[in-house]
Amino acid sequence: MTDPPLPFVDLAAQYRVLQPRIEARLNAVLAAGQFILGPEVTELEAALARFSGVDQAVTVANGTDALRIALMAEGIGPGDAVFVPAFTFVATAEVVADLGATPVFVDIDRNSYNLDPAHLRSCLEETVRAGALRPRAVIPVDLFGLPADYAAIAAIADEQGLFVLADAAQSYGASRGNQRVGSLAPVTATSFYPSKPLGCYGDGGCLFTDDAARADRLRALRGHGFAAGGLAVEVGVNSRLDTLQAAVLLAKLEIFAEELAAREAVAGRYDAALAGAVTLAPRPAGSASAWALYSILLDDRDRVRDTLGQQGIASGVYYAPPLHLHPAYARFGGGAGSLPVCEEISHKILSLPMHPYLDADSGRRICRALLEALQ
């Protein structure tokens, strides 16, 4: 008898737990018929702001738009340099290039896989010295759910007046010290893509800030640039979160804290079983990850991945290659060898199944298969 396949993320298991609550929420929207900016959207924004410990939450259509709208509100455009880690999902750099600005790729810290503040400083100095671009913003990414080093980044950003936009698409629910993601940067963007720690049943995203005037601007931009009096005061976009998605998220938010604890337990079991055999997922002191992904380093990654796959165990490679080695972004980067840490890690990284419903037996099966593959 063969063992059942183990998926990377198990949304069906979550649905079995939440089905009555989700269906009641969806049915209420269907009965009321207010599919755009219905009362659930306002209710969700208040609940998310409370959860994150910030004053303002502005929902949008997806995480990429959240990043884009935050940069639009800051007036980022041609001639501007925006510093981004090269080890991230393409959206982080895409929004910069799409607005006509220039992404400047920064290497990562091998102890967190997040933006390396020391390399940010040298990239910033180099950009100032070259003189062709105005340094305007930095987008730290909370990769795999672990918050970036916002204190160190803010210290560098403040010297040059850089706007700090947190790409928290993978880290909603995570914290640094006693502060939750959403409150760690002047503006934070997250995603509710279904497989993110807090996911809806389609696309969704949100922006967080403590600045009420900035929140008004973000709200106007997401809805065609309309201000309170019904006048379009600037050129905006259409990027609203559907009421049906807000309904799903309200149901999921009720158990989100428990799910975060369950993710932490899954990560802890991986750590205990794999310690000494592989390079474990980073766990810097003082931070709590949302564990969007649990990622280890292996010298022989591709062979191990094939072996797991033959046993029905899903795994993923995030991210290879790093962004500066993708054809569409090569013109912004320095080519192979220019960012050695993320280039090395992209060859070794492997993400294992991670979701709140991964039980201890399944975790043991994954670790046993992995340790056998390493023999």
Ligand X SMILES: *Cc1c(COP(=O)(O)O)cnc(C)c1O
Binding site for ligand X (CB under 6 A): 62-64, 88-89, 91-92, 141, 167, 169-170, 191, 193, 203, 205
CB of 100 to ligand X, least distance (A): 19
208/369 with CB nearer ligand X:
208
- Write the DSSP string, 302-355: HHHHHHHHHTTB--B---SS-GGGSGGGGGGS--TTSSHHHHHHHHHEEEEP--
Measured CA to CA in angstroms, residue 251 lies from 15, 254, 327 at distances of: 11, 6, 41
* 2 CB burial (10 A radius; 0-12, 13-18, 19+): exposed
Query: Which residue in 192, 273, 194 sits closest to 239, CA to CA?
Result: 192
What's the min distance (Å) between Cβ of 98 and ligand X?
12
> Least distance to ligand X from the beta carbon of 203, Å?
6
Q: Which residue sits closest to ligand X, CB atoms considered?
A: 63
Name the minimum Å distance from CB 147 to ligand X.
Answer: 13
Report the residue number, 52 or 362, with the smaller CB distance to ligand X.
52
Nearer Cβ to ligand X, position 76 or 274? 76
Burial 73-88 (b: 16+ CB within 10 A, else e): bbebeeebbbbbbbbb
Q: Which is nearer to ligand X, 59 or 102 (CB)?
A: 59
CB closer to ligand X out of 38 and 204: 204
Sheet holding 175-176, edge to edge: 179-180, 175-176, 287-288
Which residue lies nearer to ligand X by CB, 59 or 175? 59
Query: Which amino acid appears at position 65 of this protein?
Result: D
The number of angstroms, rounded, from the C-alpha of 71 to the middle of its chain's C-alpha atoms is 16
C-beta of 137: minimal distance to ligand X in Å?
15
Q: Which is nearer to ligand X, 266 or 293 (CB)?
A: 293
Q: Are the CB atoms for 164 and 279 separated by under 8 Å?
A: no
Q: Which is nearer to ligand X, 107 or 367 (CB)?
A: 107
When computed from its CA atoms, the radius of gyration of the chain, rounded to whole angstroms, is: 21
Tell the burial category of 57 from Cβ atoms under 10 Å away from its Cβ (0-12, 13-18, 19+): buried
CB 67, min distance to ligand X, A: 6
Question: Measured from the CB of residue 191, what is the shortest distance to ligand X in angstroms?
Answer: 3
Q: Which of 319, 317, 293 is nearest to 305 (CA)?
A: 317
Scanning the structure block, which residue is given the tokens 């989100």? 256
Q: Closest distance between ligand X and the C-beta of residue 130, in Å?
A: 27
Question: Cβ(104)–Cβ(128) under 8 Å?
Answer: no
Residues in a beta bridge with 59: 206
The nearer residue to ligand X, 59 or 191, going by C-beta atoms, is 191
Helix (H) or strand (E) holding 362: helix 360-374
Angle value at C-alpha 78, between 328 and 169, nearest 5 degrees: 60
> CB 143 → ligand X: shortest distance, Å?
7
